[in-house]
Structure 1
C-alpha cells in the first residue's frame, strides 16, 4: 500500500499571520521546530499550541532570514512549501537505481537526509508531519513511526 498521507501534510492554501489560530498554525509551528534541526543557529522552535503569537512570528521571521527573504512574519503558501520542502523531497524523489535493493537504500537515505523526525511535547510523543505521513495520517504515542518509515520505504 503506497503511502499518500504525506500529500495532506503539504496542503496549505491560506496565509497565516499573527492572530491566526487553528490546525494550519500548528502545522507551521511543527515545521518551524523540525527545521530547527536543519538550521540550529536560527532560533526556530516555538510552542505547538496552534496560536500564531509573537514567538511564532519571530520564529517565522528567523526562518525567512535564513532563506534571505523579507522578514514579514507572515506564512504564505509559498513559504509553507519552503518549510515543508523536506517532506516533499523525501516522498517525491524517485530512486535512480532499477535494482530493488539499491532503490530501497536510496529511498531510505533520501528520507534520512531530510531529517525525518518526530516531535515531542506536553501532548505526547510520536507527533508531527513525518509521523502522520508514515502512519497513514495518524500520530501520537500509540503510533510507532519507525515501523511506518520502514513500510513507507518498502512500499
Structure 2
C-alpha cells in the first residue's frame, strides 16, 4: 500500500471516528427540549413543531455538538479538510493547476460557509466559525501562492 493511500485511509478513519463522537455528544439535545427551537434547523425543515425526541434529525445532533461540545466537531472538520485535500491531490496528480484551482474553490466555499451560516452565539460555534475561517484562508492562500509560484518559475 502506498503512502498516499495510507494517509487517505487514516484521514477517513479519523473523520468517521470524530463524526461518530460528535453525533454522540450532540445526542444530548434529546434531553434538552428547551434547545429544540434554536438548535434544530434541519428538523424544522421537515417537522414544523417537534414534540417527540424521535422527531429530531441526526444532522441536528451535529449542530448541537458544534454549539456546546465543539472539540469533536472541529476535529471532524479538520479531518474532512485533510480527506478532501488528499482526494483532490490524488485525483489530479499531474495537473497541478487544477489542484490549486480546486483548493481555492474549496477555500472560498469554506469561507462563505463560515460567514453565512454560522452565527456565533455560543463559545463552541464561535470556535467552529473561526476554524472554518482559518481552514478556508489556508486553502485560498496556499492555492494562490502555488499558482503564483508556478507562473513565475516558467
TM band (smaller chain) = 0.3 to 0.5
Greater strand proportion: 1
Larger Rg: 2
Greater helix content: 2
TM-score with structure 1 setting the length:
0.39
TM-score (norm 2): 0.39
